[in-house]
């Protein structure tokens, strides 16, 4: 027998017997998949050794306490993402406990007080949560970007002395849940994504029957905001505690662990309803955004849907704008992974070679800080895809392969990120694989129907499919969702009108661009060619030759992905009429 100090991680599946009774074969298959794809690789990556497994649990030994905690956090965070679209009653979730103590090793197994305490601590963890002993907390507190809540001393079954316990709070199985439940004594650390709480909307009408409308509106906004992978949204259970209370907003935010609060009111008068909503940055007490909606009360549910869509379309943009100001004042060395991604997005949307190069640096820094940040990997694919599309890279084939790699990696990490599927759809379009593009596009839209980049790309896809009327409709919808949309939306709209043979409207759309690239000038030239205006067409052909002397008709057509040959020939003929 051998004695030594080690960190022991005990994990147990919640509701194992119930799930086995419902679907024995399916539960075992899903549990096996989680083991193969997530748990075993996480243990190996963090230098752990699985000592024992049971049907619903395992014991793992680590030489380093830090590795044990990192492994536990990774498992719970990624299980949370995997469960995002799984009904509550069918989720596979774990409790994890970690202890540091003397262990007895004998014949490949481990025994002793250290093991027993780890098993008892695991039973006190939340579903999807992690509980650790004071010995573990003392080793990692301040060394990892993790917040702890002190649970005090607890008596554990068959352990004679009380043991001081801590639980990890923050982004685990349900983002925002643990932080919202944290007591005032929690040691706070900076979060990497903005946390937002939607307080129950106040019913100002004096009509108790309107209470359902106010509560329903609040819940709908919560549900829709929760689709945004870049936000932590505090759960309804936590926020509805404050229903009907006059509370200090800063104190509420501190208790909920939220940086931003949404509050509002509903007032009914006769056949009209007035709804006010405002977004507050509690760090500065600044009102970032406020809006008032006045509607006729013909169909309260239609009004509810319309207002919910408006709010959830606007709020993330307002949050991002507020955080951009913060990022602008920070040195790169102080940026967290999320802040790097945020800044990289801003640069990407400017669509210049220099900004793209800077965006690549920032997104690389984000992944250096957090290699398993799926959203960052998706955006690295998007930023490299922009460089590939505009020819801002030395090796186009190698760059395209990197795009594909980042997208595949992002999907393996988080299949529920709308950006992952949006970018995979874009990759499929470049391969002219419209069936696969439509699959990923529909998935992205289902995950986030109010995301302007997803909506505008649906318009692009319909344009490539030759369905220009639907393309225009989707692109205009994206512009409405984001009134401050990237300038390239006008280019997408112009190309959709061109496919629809609406040349005047296409030219008008392109003219909204403050500066056009060579391809955009070529489309405008083709529009003028079809309209018979050779003078205007020649002016745009001249600009194409200035901007890109190597761009000729075959080179331009090679970048098109029209599903119908007639649409390709339509562009070819328009360019010929323009004298291209």
Q: Is residue 478 part of a domain?
A: yes
Same domain, 560 and 524: yes
Q: Is residue 333 part of a domain?
A: no
Domain containing residue 450:
382-577
Could you tell me if 190 and 319 are in contact, meaning their C-beta atoms sit under 8 angstroms apart? no
The DSSP string of 286-335 is EEEEEEEEEEETT-HHHHHHHHHHHHHHHHHHHHHHHHHHHHHTS-GGG-
The arithmetic mean of pLDDT across residues 422-434, rounded, is: 89
510 within 8 A of 490, measured Cβ to Cβ:
yes
Higher-confidence position of 158 and 357: 357
**Of 319, 340, 361, which marks where a domain is finished?**
319
- 370 token code pair: 């957090």
Q: What is the mean pLDDT of the chain?
A: 82
Residue 97 has pLDDT above 70, yes or no: yes
For every residue of 199-245, DSSP letters joined together read PPPEE-SS-GGGHHHHHHHHHHHHHHHTT-TT-EE--HHHHGGGTT-
465 with 521, same domain?
yes
Backbone angles phi, psi at 163, to 5 degrees: -125, 130
Task: For residues 201 and 272, state if they share a domain.
Answer: yes
The answer to whether residue 360 sits within a structural domain is no
Binned at pLDDT 50, 70 and 90, residue 245 comes out as confident
Domain end marker among 181, 216, 244: 181
Whether residue 166 is found in the same domain as residue 213? no
- Residue 340 domain-assigned? no
Percent of the chain with pLDDT over 70: 84
Residue 199 and residue 170 share a domain: no
Mean pLDDT in residue range 570-574: 97
SS3 21: helix
Domain with residue 452: its CATH number is 1.25.40.10
The pLDDT value recorded for residue 299 is 62
154 and 239, same domain (yes or no): no
Query: Is the domain of 445 the same as that of 526?
Result: yes
Which pLDDT score is estimated for 465?
96
361 or 250, greater pLDDT: 361
pLDDT in the model for residue 112: 77
Is the same domain home to 239 and 101?
A: no
Is residue 96 within 8 Å of residue 75, measured between CB atoms? yes
The model's pLDDT over 369-395, given as tens digits with 9 standing for 90+, comes to: 888 888 889 899 989 988 988 889 989
98 plus 128 within the same structural domain: yes
| pLDDT tens column, 46-93 | 889 898 887 788 889 998 898 999 999 999 988 888 787 677 778 889
User: Across 84-98, 259-273, 530-544, which has the greatest mean pLDDT?
Assistant: 530-544
Has residue 332 been placed in a domain? no
Same domain, 550 and 494: yes
Decide if 372 is inside a domain. Answer: no
* Separate counts of helices (H) and strands (E) for the chain: 25, 14
CA angle 199, 200, 201 (to 5 degrees): 110
Domain count, the chain: 3
pLDDT computed for residue 328 by the predictor: 43
Domain termination residue (choose one: 181, 210, 226):
181
Average pLDDT of span 165-172: 78
| CATH code at position 233 | 3.40.50.10610
| Residue 46 DSSP symbol | T
Asked if residue 327 is part of any domain, the answer here is: no
pLDDT band at 301 (very low <50, low <70, confident <90, very high): low
For residue 46, the domain's CATH number is 3.30.70.1230
One domain, residues 174 and 200? no
Cα 419 to Cα 131, 228, 381, 442, 499: the distances in Å are 33, 10, 10, 12, 27
> Can you give the pLDDT at residue 35?
85
Q: Please report whether residue 295 resides in a domain.
A: yes
Residues 147, 169, single domain; the answer is yes
Mean pLDDT lowest for which of 27-36, 325-334, 436-445?
Answer: 325-334
């Amino acid at each position: 027998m051998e004695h030594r100090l080690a960190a022991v991680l005990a994990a147990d599946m919640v509701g194992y017997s119930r799930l086995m009774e419902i679907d024995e074969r399916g539960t075992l298959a899903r549990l096996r998949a989680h083991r193969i794809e997530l748990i075993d690789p996480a243990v190996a990556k963090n230098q752990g050794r699985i000592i024992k497994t049971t049907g619903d649990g395992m014991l793992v030994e680590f030489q380093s306490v830090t590795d044990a905690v990192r492994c536990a956090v990774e498992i719970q965070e990624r299980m949370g993402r995997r469960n995002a679209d799984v009904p509550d009653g069918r989720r596979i979730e774990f409790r994890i406990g970690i202890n540091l103590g003397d262990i007895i090793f004998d014949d490949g197994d481990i025994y002793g007080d250290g093991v027993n305490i780890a098993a008892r601590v695991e039973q006190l963890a939340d579903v999807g949560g992690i509980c650790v002993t004071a010995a573990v907390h003392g080793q990692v507190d301040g060394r990892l970007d993790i917040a702890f809540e002190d649970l005090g001393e607890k008596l554990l079954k068959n352990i004679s002395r009380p043991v001081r316990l801590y639980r990890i709070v923050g982004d685990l199985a349900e983002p925002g849940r643990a932080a919202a439940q944290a007591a005032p004594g929690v040691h706070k650390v900076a979060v990497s994504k903005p946390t937002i709480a939607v307080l129950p909307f106040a019913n100002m009408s004096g009509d108790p029957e309107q209470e359902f409308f106010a509560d329903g509106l609040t819940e709908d906004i919560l549900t829709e905001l929760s689709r945004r992978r870049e936000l932590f949204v505090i759960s309804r259970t936590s926020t509805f505690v404050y229903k009907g209370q006059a509370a200090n907003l800063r104190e509420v935010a501190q208790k909920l662990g939220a940086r931003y609060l949404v509050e509002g009111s509903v007032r009914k008068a006769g056949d009209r309803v007035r709804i006010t909503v405002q977004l507050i940055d509690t760090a500065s007490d600044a009102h970032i955004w406020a809006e008032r909606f006045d509607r006729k009360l013909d169909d309260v549910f239609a009004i509810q849907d319309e207002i919910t869509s408006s709010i959830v379309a606007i709020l993330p943009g307002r949050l991002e704008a507020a955080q951009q100001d913060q990022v602008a004042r920070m040195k790169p060395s102080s940026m967290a992974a999320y802040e790097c991604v945020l800044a990289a997005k801003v640069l990407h949307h400017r669509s210049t070679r220099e900004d793209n190069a800077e965006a690549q640096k920032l997104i690389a820094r984000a992944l250096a800080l957090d290699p398993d940040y799926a959203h960052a990997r998706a955006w690295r694919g998007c930023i490299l895809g922009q460089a590939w599309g505009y020819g801002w890279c030395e090796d186009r084939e190698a760059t395209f392969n990197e795009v594909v790699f980042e997208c595949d990696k992002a999907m393996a990490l988080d299949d529920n990120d709308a950006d992952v599927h949006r970018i995979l759809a874009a990759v499929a379009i470049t391969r002219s694989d419209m069936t696969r593009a439509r699959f990923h596009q529909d998935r992205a839209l289902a995950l986030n129907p109010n995301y302007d980049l997803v909506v505008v790309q649906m318009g692009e896809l319909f344009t490539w499919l030759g369905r220009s009327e639907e393309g225009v409709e989707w692109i205009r919808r994206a512009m409405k969702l984001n009134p401050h949309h990237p300038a390239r939306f006008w280019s997408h709209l112009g190309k959709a009108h061109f496919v629809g043979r609406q040349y005047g409207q296409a030219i008008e759309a392109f003219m909204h661009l403050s500066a056009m690239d060579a391809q955009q000038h070529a489309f405008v030239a083709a529009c003028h060619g079809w309209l018979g205006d050779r003078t205007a067409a020649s002016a745009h052909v001249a600009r194409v030759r200035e901007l890109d002397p190597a761009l000729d008709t075959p080179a331009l057509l090679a970048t098109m992905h029209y599903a119908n040959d007639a649409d390709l020939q339509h562009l070819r003929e328009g360019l010929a009429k323009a004298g291209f």
